[in-house]
A and B are shown apart, each in its own frame.
Chain A
C-alpha cells in the first residue's frame, strides 16, 4: 500500500520557469512532510519541510504548500535552474512514531537551459 504517492514520474521545464512537483498521501496521521533532492550515486539531501499546522513554508526559491483536506502537498521551485535537475522525493512522518519517513517513488525533474 503506497501511503505517499508521486504519480508523475518525470517533469521537464524551461530554465527560469516555475517547477511544480506534486505529492499525495493517504494516511491522515502524517503530520510532518519533507522534500528531498537526490542526484545519481549520492544520498538524498534535505530541501524543505512543513508541519501539518501550516499550509505554506518558503525557503528561497523553494516553497512547499500543504492542503490537508485534500491530503496533497506540492513543491514549487521558482525560478528553475539547470542545477535543479535531479530526482525529488516527497516524504511523510508521524511525530512521536519514531519519525521514520515514508517516501514516494520520486519525480525526475529536468530543467532545460
Chain B
C-alpha cells in the first residue's frame, strides 16, 4: 500500500537558520508533490507544488526538491523566523485526490 513518511518528531531550530523537512514515499509514482502549512486550529494552506520532472522549485524563502529515484522531497525554509513555526504537510497528487503525510512540526526559537 502507499505510504508517506514525514518526521514525527518536531524540528527545533534557531531563528536565522535553514530548516529542512523530509518527505519519503513508497509504492507511489506521483505526478506532482505539494507542501502545505498548517497552524494550530486552522486548515492547511498551500505553499508549493513541484512536478515529477522538476528537480527544484523556489518561492521567496522556500525551496522544494523532488527526487523520484530516491522517492523523496526536501522542503527548505531559509533565514527561518519564529512566524514560520507551524506543522508542514507533504501531499502526493493523483489526478483527482491528494494523499497527505502526517506532517512535521517546526519550532523556530528567537
Binding partners A and B: no
Which B residues form the contact surface with A (CB < 8 A)? Answer: none
